[in-house]
Amino acid sequence: MKLADRVQFFSRLQELNPQPTTELLYSGPFELLIAVMLSAQATDRSVNLATRRLFALANTPAALLALGETALKAEISSIGLYHTKARHILQTCRLLVDQHDGVVPAQREALEALPGVGRKTANVVLNTAFGWPVVAVDTHIFRLANRTGLAPGKTPLAVEKALMKAVPPAFLRDAHHWLILHGRYVCKARAPSCGQCVLRSLCGYRQKTPSPKR
* Residue 210: per-residue pLDDT: 42
* Residue 204: per-residue pLDDT: 81
Instruction: Give the other-Cβ count within 10 Å of 10's Cβ.
Output: 21
* Residue 208: per-residue pLDDT: 55
* Residue 209: per-residue pLDDT: 47
- Residue 197, Cα to own-chain centre: how many angstroms? 21
What is the residue-level pLDDT of the chain in tens, covering all 214 positions? 899 999 999 999 999 999 999 999 999 999 999 999 999 889 999 999 999 999 999 999 999 999 999 999 999 999 989 999 999 999 999 999 999 999 999 999 999 999 999 999 999 999 999 999 999 999 999 999 999 999 999 999 999 999 999 999 999 999 999 999 999 999 999 889 998 999 999 998 865 544 433 3
Q: Domain locations in the chain?
A: 3-19+135-208, 28-128
- Residue 19, Cα to own-chain centre: how many angstroms? 16
Q: Which CATH number fits domain 28-128: 2.30.38.10, 1.10.340.30, 2.40.340.10, 1.10.3720.10?
A: 1.10.340.30
Q: Enter the pTM of the model.
A: 0.89
98: exposed, middle or buried (C-beta count within 10 Å: 0-12, 13-18, 19+)?
exposed
Q: Which CATH number fits domain 3-19+135-208: 1.10.1670.10, 3.10.129.10, 1.20.120.1200, 3.40.640.10?
A: 1.10.1670.10
End-to-end CA distance of the chain: 31
* Residue 211: per-residue pLDDT: 40
* Residue 41: per-residue pLDDT: 87
* Residue 146: per-residue pLDDT: 95
State the catalytic residues: 120, 138
* Residue 207: per-residue pLDDT: 57
- The whole-angstrom separation of Cα 40 and Cα 33 is 12
* Residue 213: per-residue pLDDT: 39
